[in-house]
Chains A and B, each alone.
Chain A
Amino acid sequence: MDVANDETLVEQACDDLSRRSLSRIDGDLGRLIYLASTRDYNTGRYHHDGLAARFGEEITCQALKTMHRQIFYQIAQNSLEQLVMEMERYASSSSQSREEILDVWQKLEPYRVALPVDVNVAVAQLFVSNVKLALAILRRRLELEAREAPRS
């Protein structure tokens, strides 16, 4: 097994993934959710048919795992204000209404499943905590908008 060659292939697969799939998704939060959705709940392995056809299962799994970690650390480093903007961006790019998304996210907390495995525990908790706060802030904004609406 040529480790250096594998690393190069993983890099190429990451690049391919960024250009073809991730660039089409609006915002890092959307990208994080997308990458988490390519992971099998039972095995923890990542799958992507298109990428696997070019690079093979193992390299694809490594590339998806690498990108998942990278995007996670990127978004976890955001300030709370930036995360609120990311959440808004994510909600407005979805076909569901903002209210619906907020309801589901606050009740089911799907963002917990979006955490990559083996990331630093404190960073993971900071991210979860900030998403919770961002949701509360957006909920308040919606309530304020609803109160303002009848007046205008």
Chain B
Amino acid sequence: MSSPDDGARRAPLFAEDPGGGVAASAPLVGDAAEPTLFELSRPGRRSWQLRTTDVPAWGIDDLVPEAHRRTSPVPLAEVSERDLVGHFTRLSHRQFAVDLGAYPLGSCTMKYNPKVCDTVAALPGLADVHPGAPGWLTQGWLELLVRLEEALCEITGMAAATLQPAAGAAGELTGLLLMRAWHDAHGERRTRVVIPDSAHGTNPASVTLGGFEVTTVPSNERGCVDMEALRSVLDRDVAGIMLTNPNTLGLFEEEIEEMADAVHRAGGLLYYDGANLNAILGVVRPGDMGFDIVHLNLHKTFATPHGGGGPGAGPVAVSARLAEFLPGPRPVRLREDGAAEEDGAAEDGARVAAEARADRAGEARGGHARYGWAMPPRSIGRVHGWHGNALVLARALCYIEVNGGDGLRRVAERAVLNANWLRARLAGVYDIPFDRPCMHEVVLAASTLRKRSGVRAIDVAKRLLEEGFHSPTVYFPLIVDEALMIEPTETESLQTLEALARAMERIAGEAAGGEVGTAPRTTPVRRVDEARAARQLVATFDARR
């Protein structure tokens, strides 16, 4: 019990809001917002502890010339470790994730991320290695990268790959620069790249950054590229075509061989957007379909966690004739004499010589360097500051090796099975614009629902959040009205699919009541005012006032 005197003594401290916040789980049990870290701050608090070094404690004046010296420290939040933990733990409780429940976000392949891969990525022998260390001291990493590259080439049916691109979009741009380098090397200045109207938005943006113009071809009534339209745009200006197969409608482009043939006859190259590779693992390979350049999204197909929006990894694999243009340096196996073990392609002499020296140094210490770095002879250059998102690459190799060739095929089968089951289960409840067997995802539409009751795809998406499911991708692909793009992935059980289907049925049934439009009501916040965010931009705490 506190006496009135205690209150009087404490009063001055709270005379005005001193900052510092309160550690309480209000956002979890109530509906209060979590304060920002800056509001939890109180000058003089600290979490940091640094090791004792005994290095002479020169002052800042002795170390940095005045012209360069800060006049006051960078203002950051000052919190105790306990408050730091409380804050970020409470924030994590305001976040949906694959580990919490089904995440059928079409085109994103939000499958379960095996924990063993996290363990691999945390191994000190991988996580604590400097990327600039000499090859003979990083043989384990080099072997890991070579093994991954070889596995990815087998999976895609390609000859060689770069692991540098940090995400799918970076892979796309890399692929387009490879296309450019190929045509340059053949003395051609081709200016246009063809993409279907169902393509991911990154495709046209990458085409522009690759220095090409976009030519769009329409889809036909079956949801595939219209062959006649494609033939009509193919000429000597076309550098190539970007396709994803299965396409963004979840449908396999059945005429892919004819397309490949037509594009190749026109002197163009075929680029495969690997966003949808999960559907065809071990079933059919982009290389066998006639593609020349393939990017993969390891964070989709190979189960590396999406990290709230990255890191991803977007390796690019190519056919043999394009290997000499790949970004570099590339991890390679070395022969006994220290030269790179590569089919056909000559390697950069200096780099290999350097590694051969490292090899000898390694040998002198009882080791033998079997792996090194090599620059492809006509490389387009680096596309990453170092070697790519290495720890993501390590996770992907772990996933591939646990699954094996047989397991990867089962992944594709179960992913396609799940998507088709949902398609059949929800037929008649939602529109199915292209009603035929799909691959790893199914595109439904809420257009009839909207006509009947005014409920839109976005309303269905928001209402699903209340049911404990993440929303599907909505309003994509652009060619489908009121699209709901559902990718259940192979790691969701039949029971979860049934629960999702029932929730979607329920929502369709409720539509007439008009309640759906006000969802979600049970989430940490309700629908947010996106227009206001753009109109009155507050992108930092300092912009608040």
**A interacts with B:** no
Interface residues of B (CB under 8 A from A): none
